[in-house]
């Protein structure tokens, strides 16, 4: 959420900056300004009523002490009306504050100056491409056919148990999945991230804190009986660990990692792009989250990108990094890098990670602050990244490592799987 004072002071600049998202933000910002002025006017009137009430109360006390009860009681009648007026103003203020919060929730984050202009993923900027694309044998299969051939992932069984998008991993497929999770967590903890196990359901406050609500409400599974949401990513519970917190400067950066299953409705997703592991309703992901002093957050973002690069190099998968354009940038992000693995059998790139800096946008919603070197309370910067999302990484491994004898296991994973070949 944007800082209200920043909107007051820089409204015209914000309108210009948000055009990079292809958004005409002027009506929204004007609404916020109008509600803010109304809120301040009501608050000023309430403060005046309170001052008047305090003044009359002191006068009543003096009148009673002076032996003038009739005059004192007459003034007491005035206080009754002032209290009624103050109550009405308080109710009006609460309504305006609620409307103001809802309007602020609808304004996305300001894109960083490095974000390229563009309308969609076609306009994303390729930053780097690395790794050799393997030449497969004639008759190479996509991962959903390989999963069936070697009986390692059963999509039809998942449909029987739950529905489409909920696969069942079997035998060596399940062990490879577990190996990836352990490997990712080990890489992250070795890099200084503290492992956390968190709930897989969150309340609405947590969803609003990281920006999934109200922006992605339709994509989240909602348990209405308890008003809880299945998490779409570990980012939500892990970042909310520090909601309503003021950190001492010496505790920054805070670096967390966590593994969770993730749940996404993916409403309206149909077609060949969602076959197999390409898009699921339930999938596993290992996440990294950082809380940084603002002056260090972009250096930290570069470090997170390099960390994910190193993992993909060790897996020996061909990948590329994209800097997302304004039209494809996530609602809460100021700058995002997407990682994509090349699927040789599908002949296309598959997104497997997003690494983002949210600057103060999430922190303002979360009330996540720190004390600077002068002891002043400031909003922190939050960052997160997939390190990594498993389904498309697994798809890339199955397709790029297939041979006529079976599917080889990347060397770095063999100590985790205990086998070298799926056959």
Distance CA 310, CA 130 (A): 11
Pull the structure tokens for residue 158. 């998942």
Query: Which residues does 330 contact at the CB level (< 8 Å), separation at least 6?
Result: 324, 336, 354, 356
Distance CA 29, CA 32 (A): 5
Is 354 annotated in a binding site? The answer is yes
Cis peptide before 73 (omega within 30 of 0): no
Cis peptide before 319 (omega within 30 of 0): no
By three-state DSSP, how is residue 128 classified?
strand
Is 45 annotated in a binding site? The answer is no
Is 264 annotated in a binding site? The answer is yes
Is 233 annotated in a binding site? The answer is yes
Give all strands (DSSP E) within 237-347, no chain letters. 245-248, 254-263, 282-292, 319-323, 335-343
Q: What is the dihedral of CA 159, 154, 229, 181, to 10 degrees?
A: 180
Query: Which residues does 95 contact at the CB level (< 8 Å), separation at least 6?
Result: none
CB 407 within 8 A of CB 398: yes
Is 37 annotated in a binding site? The answer is no
Is 266 annotated in a binding site? The answer is yes
Pull the structure tokens for residue 398. 């199955």
Please report, in range form, the residues annotated as the binding site for L-serine.
Answer: 233, 264, 287, 384
Please report, in range form, the residues annotated as the binding site for ATP.
Answer: 264-266, 351-354
Please report, in range form, the residues annotated as the binding site.
Answer: 233, 264-266, 287, 351-354, 384
């Amino acid at each position: 959420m944007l800082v209200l004072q920043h909107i007051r002071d820089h409204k015209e600049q914000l309108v210009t900056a948000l055009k990079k998202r292809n958004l005409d933000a002027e009506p929204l910002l004007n609404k916020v300004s109008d509600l803010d002025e109304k809120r301040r006017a009501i608050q000023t009137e309430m403060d005046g009523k309170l001052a008047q009430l305090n003044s009359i109360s002191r006068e009543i006390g003096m009148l009673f002490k002076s032996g003038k009860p009739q005059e004192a009681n007459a003034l007491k009648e005035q206080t009754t009306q002032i209290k009624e007026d103050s109550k009405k103003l308080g109710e009006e203020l609460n309504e305006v504050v609620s409307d103001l919060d809802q309007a602020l929730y609808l304004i996305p984050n300001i894109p960083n100056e490095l974000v390229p202009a563009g309308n969609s993923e076609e306009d994303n900027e390729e930053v780097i491409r690395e790794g050799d694309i393997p030449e497969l044998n004639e008759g190479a299969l996509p991962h959903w056919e390989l999963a069936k051939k070697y009986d390692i992932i059963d999509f039809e069984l998942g449909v029987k148990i739950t529905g489409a998008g909920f696969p069942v991993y079997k035998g060596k497929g399940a062990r490879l999945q577990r190996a990836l999770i352990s490997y990712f967590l080990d890489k992250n903890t070795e890099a200084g991230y503290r492992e956390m196990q968190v709930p897989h359901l969150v309340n609405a406050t947590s969803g609003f804190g990281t920006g999934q609500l109200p922006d992605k409400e339709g994509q989240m599974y909602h348990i209405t009986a308890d008003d809880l949401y299945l998490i779409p990513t570990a980012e939500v519970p892990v970042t909310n660990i520090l909601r309503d917190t003021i950190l001492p400067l010496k505790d920054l950066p805070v670096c967390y990692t966590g593994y969770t299953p993730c749940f996404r409705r993916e409403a309206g997703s149909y077609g060949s792009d969602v076959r197999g592991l390409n898009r699921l309703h339930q999938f596993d992901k290992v996440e990294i989250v950082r809380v940084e002093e603002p002056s260090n957050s972009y250096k930290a973002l570069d470090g997170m990108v390099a960390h994910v690069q190193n993992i993909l190099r060790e897996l020996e998968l061909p990948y590329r990094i994209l800097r997302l354009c304004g039209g494809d940038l996530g609602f809460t992000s100021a700058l995002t890098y997407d990682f994509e693995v090349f699927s040789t059998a599908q002949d296309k790139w598959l997104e497997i990670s997003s690494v983002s800096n949210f600057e103060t946008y999430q922190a303002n919603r979360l009330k996540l602050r720190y004390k600077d070197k002068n002891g002043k309370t400031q909003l922190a910067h939050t960052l997160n990244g997939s390190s990594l999302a498993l389904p498309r990484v697994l798809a890339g491994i199955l397709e790029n490592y297939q041979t006529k004898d079976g599917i080889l296991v990347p060397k770095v994973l063999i100590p985790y799987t205990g086998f070298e070949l799926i056959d």
